[in-house]
Amino acid sequence: MDFGRLITAMVTPFDEQGEVAWTQVPPLIDMLIERQRTQSIVVFGTTGESPTLSDEEKIKLLDLAVRHAAGRCSIIAGTGSNDTKHSIELTREAEKAGADGVLLVVPYYNRPNQDGLYAHFAAVAQATKLPVMLYNVPSRTASNLEAETTLRLAQLPNVVAVKECGPTEQVAYIAANAPEGFRVYSGDDTASLSALSVGAYGIVSVASHVVGARMSEMLAAHAGGEADQAAAVYHSLLPVFKGLFACPHPVPNPVAVKYALQLRGFEVGGVRLPLVEAAEDEKRYIERFMADFD
């Protein structure tokens, strides 16, 4: 399964009461496909505020995304959690709903060792026929899926990719030693070009909500051997990459990108507690870098 080079981890639209704004999902998907040129969409990943979505909301969101995308892009369901049994159940529901693949995050809070991580991912992968993308994000999970464990999991027939937010040398080692066809994706927009330079295939992005078309240009230039052009595009996008996560000090994702989308005319609402909306100085900062990019 090839999910393409540009994957967007989609926000979940909410209304003023904090409920899922179902009518806003289709136009958001259309915009990501048609304007931002995303090739796959992750629904209810971290950017989609998965910890505060119920299973019922997740499956309804997935069903809507699958039906509306109608094959125009792949739909990946974020079915990972720190409860293996629950991840298996949600993954099976995602398979029934027509997902094209699943994204499985490293179990958070429990802090399993590498044998536990392998056993967790293997159990979920073996419970489904769907392609599996692993998701290593040590800054959120307090555990690092080490490169050797990723490579061991890559031997399983339906474990096809990893979204890697670890150090560049880990990206490089996995890319150099993975079986043929296994894809490594950068999970950090800011680190995307350095990850590509050491063997990453693509990006699972937040910034692609607002600069996806330009990111596609960067990816195409890099894949085509035009390193200088890829670097030039990257440098032009860096203020957006950095600004969405540090405006003017670090803010939790997806607070900034939801406000950036609002500035672009897409009403995706606010965030659910325990997240809170951007403060006024943060909003002014977002407005400035978005205006500079426009």
DSSP 279: P
Per the CB < 8 A criterion, the answer to whether 283 and 263 are in contact is no
Catalytic residue among 60, 96, 118, 135: 135
Buried residues in 153-164 as b, exposed as e (16+ CB within 10 A): bbeeeebbbbbb
Catalytic residue check, 85? no
Establish whether the linkage from the previous residue to 179 is cis, with ω within 30° of 0.
no
Residue 40 phi, psi (nearest 5): -145, 155
Structure tokens at 141: 């999970």
What are the residues whose beta carbons fall under 8 Å from the beta carbon of 227, sequence distance 6 or more? 197, 221
Catalytic residue check, 258? no
Whose structure tokens read 């529901």?
93
Q: Which of 252, 254, 253, 246 is nearest to 282 (CA)?
A: 246
Q: Which of 8, 128, 124 is nearest to 69 (CA)?
A: 8
Q: Which of 161, 228, 150 is nearest to 193 (CA)?
A: 228
Catalytic residue among 58, 163, 185, 285: 163
Distance between CA 266 and CA 272 in Å, rounded?
18
| Distances from the Cα of 11 to the Cα of 50, 87, 257, angstroms | 10, 21, 8
Helix axes 227-243, 280-293, angle to 10 degrees: 160
Which residues are catalytic, by number? 135, 163
